[in-house]
Amino acid sequence: MDRARIICHRGACLTAPENTLAALEGAIAVGADVIEFDIRQSRDGVLYVFHDDTLERTSNGKGRFVDALSTDIDRLDAGSWFDQAYAGERIPRLEIFLDSCAGRIETYAEIKDADPARVRDMLAARGLLETAWTFSFDPDIQAETRAKASDLRRMVLYSYVGNVARAVASGAHILEFHPEDLTFDRVREAKEAGLITQMFYDGEDQSVFESALECGIEQFNIDHVARFRAVEGRRKLAAAK
């Protein structure tokens, strides 16, 4: 029984402020294979690792991210909201974040607001492109990625495409399930079609992890890494008896 690949959702977001260099270091420390992060663009065109379309939740800034200048974003505190121990943690520029990933961890870039060709080129410049993949909820960005960054692997959601055939027809490389649409037959069909199977789950219910492992999911985009590895380890011990 092989170990599943772990993707740290927004980095080690339970122990450090999400989408920061501290969260990246935490993901590496827990042995994650991949880090998932979000990309947005400032008013003057600088790419950053940041999730929300507004600044308030995870920084001391105010207003829409796209309206903020990079000189102002660079001064924001992105750590105190999580814990005072992280006071002064910055919103990382994408180039700095990727420099810290190179040679250490693979990358899954969710593009919220950015030119996918720029993201692709930044990944390639650091030797990250071959193992990287991307996703966006924005259909225009999805179309741009297909047209302008065709060598950047893409993920689709089962809940969006509705079946494996559509995932294949879209040119996707990875098919992500959620607990509510996960079945053994769908996972098997996806694998037979040459897709990598993935599940997103930000909870810690042991039965969800067990079900996904039973279905044969290959990689997990999760928050609770230790909880998952404990479940996986118990399954391996049981199988070895």
How far is residue 128's CA from residue 103's CA, in Å, rounded to a whole number?
8
**CB 127, CB 149: distance < 8 Å:** no
End-to-end CA, the chain: 13
10 Å Cβ neighbour count for 220? 26
Give catalytic residue positions: 9, 51
Among candidates 232, 236, 218, 233, which has minimal Cα distance to 7? 218
Strands (E) in 153-225, as ranges, are 153-157, 174-177, 196-201, 219-222
How far is residue 50's CA from residue 106's CA, in Å, rounded to a whole number?
18
How far is residue 115's CA from residue 136's CA, in Å, rounded to a whole number?
11
Residue 11 corresponds to which tokens in the numbers above?
């980095």
Please, which residues bridge with residue 220 across strands?
6, 199
Residue 175 corresponds to which tokens in the numbers above?
């098919």
Contacts 24+ apart (CB under 8 A), 169-177: 171/146, 173/133, 174/133, 174/198, 176/135, 176/200, 176/221, 177/212, 177/217
Three-state DSSP class for residue 34? strand
